[in-house]
């Protein structure tokens, strides 16, 4: 049975929004770091030839940003247990993605967070992150 609270974390808690400028460098660096060499993530001309107005962020970069958002909120001792996302509107250079999150379940030292990342076109990412929470500090 899930509980409604674990220490200072409760169902319904909202994480503060995180605004991420979507730069060309972020898109290309994320693709390179994740070894995703698809031309639509680094070559504007080839991206246009394939029907996109510009390059766009790959799913692995988005995945990493969502994970960072949750662990930054809960602290360096929090551990990701699962992360499931679905992409929607593309993140393109010059846009800003704003991540928001809400705690939807707490069970012991584990919390499940619903995350949404939106940009000017709409929802870029929706998903759920399960995180193990650190033990509270002892005084």
What is the pLDDT at residue 136?
Answer: 65
**Per-chain mean pLDDT for the chain:** 92
pLDDT at 8: 84
What confidence category does residue 135 fall into, taking pLDDT thresholds of 50, 70 and 90?
A: confident
Residues 6 or more apart from 122 whose CB is under 8 A from it?
88, 89
Residue 4 is predicted with a pLDDT of 47
pLDDT tens digits along 52-89: 999 999 999 999 999 999 999 999 899 999 999 999 99
Helix (H) and strand (E) counts in the chain: 3, 7
Our measurement of the distance from residue 125's CA atom to the centroid of its chain's CA atoms, rounded to an integer in Å, reads 7
Residue 14: Cβ-neighbour burial (10 angstroms; 0-12, 13-18, 19+): exposed
Which of helix, strand or coil describes residue 121?
Answer: coil
């Amino acid at each position: 049975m899930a509980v409604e609270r674990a220490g200072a974390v409760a169902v319904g808690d909202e994480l503060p929004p995180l605004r991420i400028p979507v730069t060309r460098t972020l898109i290309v660096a994320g693709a390179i770091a994740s070894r995703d060499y698809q031309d639509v993530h680094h070559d504007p001309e080839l991206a246009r030839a394939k029907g996109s107005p510009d390059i766009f962020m790959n799913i692995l970069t988005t995945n990493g940003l969502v994970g960072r958002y949750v662990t930054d909120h809960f602290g360096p001792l929090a551990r990701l247990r699962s992360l499931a996302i679905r992409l929607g509107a593309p993140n393109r250079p010059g846009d800003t993605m704003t991540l928001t999150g809400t705690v939807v379940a707490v069970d012991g030292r584990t919390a499940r967070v619903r995350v949404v990342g939106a940009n000017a076109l709409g929802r870029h990412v929706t998903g759920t992150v399960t995180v193990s929470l650190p033990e509270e500090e002892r005084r």
